[in-house]
Each structure stands twice: as C-alpha cells, then as structure tokens.
Chains A and B, each alone.
With several copies, the nearest count.
Chain A
Amino acid sequence: MLAFRRPQELANPLVFFVMAVSLFPLGVSPEKSFLAPAAAGVVWVASLLATLLSLDALFRADHEDGSLEQLTLAPQPLFILVLAKVFAHWLTTGLPLILLSPVLALMLHVDESLLGVLMLSLLVGTPVLSLIGAIGAALTVGLRVGGVLISLLVLPLYIPVLIFGTGMVQSAAAGMDYTATLAMLGAILALSLTLAPFAAAAALKISVSN
C-alpha cells in the first residue's frame, strides 16, 4: 500500500546525517576533549535536521501529481493512510539513522559505554520526529514556499524531544539514572502516536481543499 521508493531515496537523509555530523568537527574543532562531551548532542541535532529535510518530500510529490486527492477520496479513513505513510517515513529515515549513529558517535570520540543509551534515545525519539513532522508537512503541502516553512512550524515542537533525548545521554554520561527521562520521551511518543495522525489527516484535508 505504501508507495515504493527507490533505494536511493532511502540513502539520502542518511547521507545528510553523516555529512552534518562530519561538518561539525571540521567547522568547530577536531579535538577530542571538545568533541566527546558535545557528541551526543551533535548526533541528535543532526538527526533532527536530517528528518526535517526529508519531511518536505513526505506529501509534496503526492500533492503535485494529484495522488493526495485520490488519497483523501479513498474509502479507508485518512488517518490510517497517514499513519502508514509516517511509518514508512520512519523506516526509511529514522531507523537508518539509529543504525548508523554508533559509527558516527565513535568518530566523535563518544565513550563506548554510552552508545547504547544514545541509540535507545534515538529509537524512542525519532518516531516522534516523524509523527510531528507529518503534521507540518501536511499543513504546508499546498504552499509553494519551499520546504523550509516546515522547519518554522515543526522545530518548536521538536525542541522538547531534543532536550529529553540529549538529556538522557547526558545523565547516563554523568552516571545518573536516566529512566525518568526515558519515561518522559516514551510518554511523548505515546501522545504523538495517538494525536499526530489525526492532526495530520485534518491538515491534509485542508490543504487539498485549497
């Protein structure tokens, strides 16, 4: 039911992710003493930006070729279709990022014991990014103002995720208990999983009728 994508499209956010992470030591400072504490944050910021970048494509092509009209006229409830699309988006964006994050974290001299926590935080966090992003993408899809308007809408909602996600890794680095933060992230995930598909479906209907 999901649109098949080219394998290449899958690689794109990943490539961006890798590049954004590697830009950081280049642009700022390549020293270990500097990189190690910043690393988890950098990986998080980069995956957030990578997700953001890929959002624009989520519904845009569908809108331009008229698939979106067909989608809203399909007999299934729209939010289910949206959920399926978001899930596909996460599979092609979030999941590869998670799988690649340990490699990049190592390049930034993250302590090996923290890799697990970092991946866990991403595992809970990235679906939220996809879900919230879908709302932004749905709201902006009719507008030709370029994908960056999405950033404006979506980034404020991403910030809590970012704070909890990096907070989790930082607590772990400080040797503290991070389950409370994890629970918080989990709660955000549950919340957005129940609400975001409806919001995105509503936004899509509005965008289509314009």
Chain B
Amino acid sequence: MWEAFKQWFHRWGSPKWFYERSLVWSFWLGWGAMILLPIGIVWGLAFAPQDYQQGNSFRIIYLHVPAAILAQSCYMIMAVAGFVSLVWRMKMADVVLKCAAPIGASFCFLALFTGAVWGKPTWGTWWEWDARLTAMLILLFLYFGVIALEAAIEDKITAGRAAAVLSLVGVVNIPIIKYSVEWWRTLHQPATFKLTEKPDMPVEMWAPLLVMVIGVYCFFGYSLFLRSRNEIIERERRTLWVRELLAKEGKV
C-alpha cells in the first residue's frame, strides 16, 4: 500500500509523465470549464431569484465567491507544492508553484475587484478596512511577493526553492482569511457553504453558485496544466524526450 503510494507519488515528479498525462486532464478540465461556466453565469445572472434586500446587485456573488474561494485554494496548492519541493526536491512542484502564482493572483484581484464593486451599493463604500478584506489584500501581496521573487532570481531551481519557502511562510494568512469573519465582528458575511450544515440560502440561489465554483475550479486546473506544460517544455528543452517531441511536432 505504502509502496504503491510512493510509486504513484514519484511518478508526479517526472516531468515527462506529467506532460503526457496532463494533455488528457487539461482536455477534460477545459471542457468542464467551457460547459459549467456559461451555465453558471447565465443561471446566476438571469434565472436565480433576486435577493429581497439587495436586489440585483447581489448577483455579483456568482463571480465574487468563486474567485475568492479559488484565490485561497490556489495559495494552498502553492504551499503544498512548496513543501513538496523543499522536502523531496521534486521538479514538478516548482513548476506547479510557479505557474499557479499568476493565476491565483488574478483570481485574488478579481475577488477584490468584485468585492469592491459590490461594496459600493451594499456598504456604501468601495473599500473598508475590514479584517477579511484586509486579509484578502495581504493575500494579493503575498502572490505578488512570490511572483516577484521568482522573477528576481535567475537560476530556476534556486528561484523555485526560494518561492517555496515564501509560500510556506505566507500560508498562515489563509486561516486568517477564513476565520476573520468569525474572530472579529465585521461587515463581511460569514461562510454560506459549510461542510456540516445546509446553506441558509434557497437552493435556487446557491445551486448556480456551486456550478460556478466547480466551473472555476475546472478553469483553474485547465490553465494551470496549460501553463505547466509550457514551463516544462521550457525547462526540459534539452532533455532527450523534449527534443524528440519538438522534432516530431516540427515534422507534423
């Protein structure tokens, strides 16, 4: 059992294996995103019922919440990759970390932006120095930090390991975002989706949200694989298999 796990784990470390498999995965994830996102958006924006307090402005939730959730998950993924990279020196972990950072940063920005847009009608201000909002802003800065550090270091392996340390250190911020709404009395809503309870929103409202969240995850996976594949080719360009591959593609 353990052996099998180890084998499986080590396969992930092989860029070649990853490159070959990720084509299939990214294909399915890409289609998932293509199908789920339009459904979610149309459903959320056009068919879901209005909120009795906020009217139509609440529909931003269908962008805001998926983006916010993803921004956090992405950082978690980076931290895990960082851990793997530092402990097992796995090349693929560096690649994933590097490729995930800009995606995460974009989603983080999107969450902040939609939050700000939403804040104007509901709280009467674009920005408020509330705990969750601040923590989210910190997350964005952490993303910038990782990206900047990656860019500042010439040597790819060194860059990957430095970024790994940073993303591990920054992971303390995630629980702060998550629990900020519970630890401090804030303007911001507490979580709707909990594993243990049923959401107190009507089904018609949260179902499209769920679709959006899954869709966004698919999109994230898709773009992560796409970017990683490019990065792998870039990094491994001198290995035999990449050269063979490029030669083959050149011919076709």
Contact = CB atoms under 8 A, between A and B. Distances in A.
- Quick check: do A and B touch in the complex, using CB within 8 A? yes
Interface of A: 6, 8, 11, 15, 19, 22, 25-26, 30, 32, 106-107, 109, 132, 135, 139-140, 142-143, 145, 149, 152-153, 155-157, 159-160, 163, 191, 195, 199, 202-203, 206-207, 209-210
Given A22-B137, A30-B128, A152-B141, A160 B176 contact: yes
| Secondary structure type dominating chain B contacts | helix
B170 A156 contact: yes
Nearest to A35: B129
B152 A145 contact: yes
B163 to A, nearest CB: 9
A143 B141 contact: no
B2 to A, nearest CB: 27
Interface residues of B, number: 33
Contacts of B169: 132, 135, 157, 195, 199
A149 B162 CA distance: 13
A195 B168 CA distance: 11
Interface string B105-137: 000000000000000000001111110001001
A107 B127 contact: yes
B190 to A, nearest CB: 20
Contacts, number: 80
| Secondary structure type dominating chain A contacts | helix
A152 B148 CA distance: 8
Contacts of A153: 145, 148-149, 166
A156 B173 contact: yes
Given A156-B141, A156-B170, A199-B169, A210 B152 contact: no
A23 to B, nearest CB: 11
B158 A19 contact: no
Given A206-B161, A210-B155, A139 B166 contact: yes
Nearest to B137: A22
A163 B186 CA distance: 14
A50 to B, nearest CB: 16
